[in-house]
């Protein structure tokens, strides 16, 4: 018997049909963790009107995530649907169970573009009319290797065939993962990530109180590096820059923030010991209140080889903390609209990076400058209000 894939396979909508109840959105992603686009997705869930949108998550790693409990407490749900040989059947069963109006496949790594295409193909088979490819990472980390080219070609063919909408977190990501002439495709839209401004205001107010009480060592330069364990984040480069900076008699320390991997941590500790800065490197793990961390920092250091939009840069801009960042295309778009971002190529020597860091941290921002930074971000497209409005318009 031949199965015919029609939009009515799971959803029979008779003439005169009208929606009753919220729009159900099933977001499919690799895992839920406190980095990348995931905290923003949970912030969006907090803001959504449950009478209008029901937000569900399907996790293809099969692993429990840091936000699972909070998502359920907010009225959402997390389904663990491992991407193995049984995935097509288990995902189709999930579609029958939750009957989503929208399936959104999150392309958080170029490696999983094919999986995202498969997800949208299965959604089409399952009768889901609105199928969104959400492009959230930089171009393929495999570059021009044969395997990388094959993955890009197959992934784009699948997305081209089965996506009804293509949303990217930046123009650079849209060009890199989709096409240079993306503006000619009516399905394509760039929607920037948004920053929640209320925690930013609270963090700046707390910083003002700390300064009034003289609680901080004004001579200490605190450099923050926020990332998950991944060779593309170049965490070892941050240690080298710290060593070069302390070689200039700058009283600096480096805080590594984010999920830790035992092997990577041991390697970074060994490197710091060889460079003579082991006493000035701290690993503080995942942090819930990122704005408070950033507003107390002297500098945000970003040494990644590739990123999508780099939300942590937006959060630093919101609190007025200087940013020293590798030349990432998505960050170029932020720097065009917001001040406080200095960009250097990774190929430039550690000495130049250290010189620039010393210059950026010589005069700490005042509270008034931090407040102005928050006002500038509020007037930019990088707010949660803009993100919520634009992404719900796609779902609707």
State the pLDDT at residue 8.
Answer: 40
Whether 171 and 207 share a structural domain:
no
Whether 321 and 388 share a structural domain:
no
Whether 151 and 235 share a structural domain:
no
Q: Which domain holds residue 148?
A: 23-192+383-395
State the pLDDT at residue 143.
Answer: 53
Whether 250 is in a domain gets the answer yes
Which regions of the chain does DSSP assign to beta strands (E)? 23-29, 53-59, 77-80, 102-107, 130-135, 165-168, 188-190, 221-226, 252-257, 281-285, 299-302, 323-326, 341-344
Could you tell me the CATH number of the domain that includes residue 85?
A: 3.40.50.2000
Whether 122 is in a domain gets the answer yes
> What are 359-379's pLDDT values in tens digits?
999 999 999 999 999 999 999
Whether 114 and 248 share a structural domain:
no
Q: Cα–Cα distance between 330 and 259 in angstroms, integer?
A: 23
Whether 391 and 373 share a structural domain:
no
Whether 175 and 217 share a structural domain:
no
Whether 3 is in a domain gets the answer no
> What are 76-95's pLDDT values in tens digits?
899 998 988 999 999 999 99
Whether 287 and 164 share a structural domain:
no
Whether 132 and 204 share a structural domain:
no
Whether 346 is in a domain gets the answer yes
* Cβ atoms of residues 158 and 130 within 8 Å: no
State the pLDDT at residue 12.
Answer: 43
Whether 145 and 255 share a structural domain:
no
Nearest to 102 by CA among 392, 390, 387, 395: 395
State the pLDDT at residue 11.
Answer: 43
Whether 59 and 149 share a structural domain:
yes
Whether 150 and 267 share a structural domain:
no
Whether 356 is in a domain gets the answer yes
Q: Which residues of the chain fall below pLDDT 50?
A: 1-18, 110-111, 140, 142
* Cβ atoms of residues 309 and 169 within 8 Å: yes
Q: Is 305 exposed, middle or buried, given 0-12, 13-18 or 19+ CB atoms closer than 10 A?
A: middle
Whether 169 is in a domain gets the answer yes
Number of domains in the chain: 2
Whether 178 and 212 share a structural domain:
no
Whether 7 is in a domain gets the answer no
Enter the pTM of the model: 0.85
Whether 10 is in a domain gets the answer no
Q: Any residues with CB less than 8 A from the CB of 32 and at least 6 apart, and which?
A: 38, 41, 42, 57, 59, 65, 66, 67, 68, 71, 78
């Amino acid at each position: 018997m031949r199965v015919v894939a029609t939009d009515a396979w799971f959803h029979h909508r008779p003439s005169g049909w009208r929606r009753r109840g919220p729009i159900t959105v099933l977001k499919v992603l690799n895992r839920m963790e406190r980095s990348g686009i995931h905290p923003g997705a949970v912030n969006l869930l907090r803001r959504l009107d449950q009478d209008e949108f029901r937000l569900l998550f399907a996790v293809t790693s099969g692993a429990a995530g840091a936000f699972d409990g909070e998502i359920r407490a907010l009225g959402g749900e997390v389904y663990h649907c491992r991407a193995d040989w049984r995935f097509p059947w288990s995902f189709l069963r999930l579609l029958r169970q939750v009957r989503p109006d929208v399936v959104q496949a999150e392309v958080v790594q170029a490696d999983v573009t094919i999986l995202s295409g498969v997800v949208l193909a299965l959604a089409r088979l399952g009768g889901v009319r609105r199928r969104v490819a959400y492009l959230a990472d930089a171009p393929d980390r495999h570059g021009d290797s044969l395997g990388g080219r094959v993955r890009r070609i197959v992934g784009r063919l699948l997305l081209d065939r089965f996506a009804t909408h293509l949303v990217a977190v930046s123009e650079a990501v849209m060009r890199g993962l989709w096409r240079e002439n993306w503006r000619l495709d009516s399905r394509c839209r760039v929607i920037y990530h948004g920053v929640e401004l209320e925690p930013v205001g609270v963090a700046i107010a707390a910083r003002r109180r700390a300064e009034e009480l003289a609680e901080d060592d004004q001579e200490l330069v605190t450099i923050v590096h926020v990332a998950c364990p991944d060779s593309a984040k170049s965490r070892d480069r941050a240690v080298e820059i710290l060593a070069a900076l302390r070689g200039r008699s700058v009283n600096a320390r480096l805080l590594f923030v984010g999920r830790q991997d035992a092997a990577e941590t041991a390697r970074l500790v060994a490197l710091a010991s060889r460079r003579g800065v082991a006493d000035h490197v701290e690993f503080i793990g995942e942090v819930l209140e990122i704005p408070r961390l950033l507003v107390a920092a002297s500098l945000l250091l970003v040494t990644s080889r590739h990123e999508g939009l780099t939300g942590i840069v937006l959060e630093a801009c919101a609190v007025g903390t200087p940013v020293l960042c590798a030349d990432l295309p998505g960050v170029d778009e932020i720097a065009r609209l917001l001040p406080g971002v200095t960009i250097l190529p990774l190929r430039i020597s550690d000495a130049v990076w250290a010189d620039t860091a010393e210059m950026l941290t010589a005069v700490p921002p005042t509270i008034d400058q931090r407040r102005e930074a928050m006002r500038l971000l509020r007037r930019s497209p990088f707010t949660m209000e803009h993100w919520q409005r634009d992404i719900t318009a796609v779902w609707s």
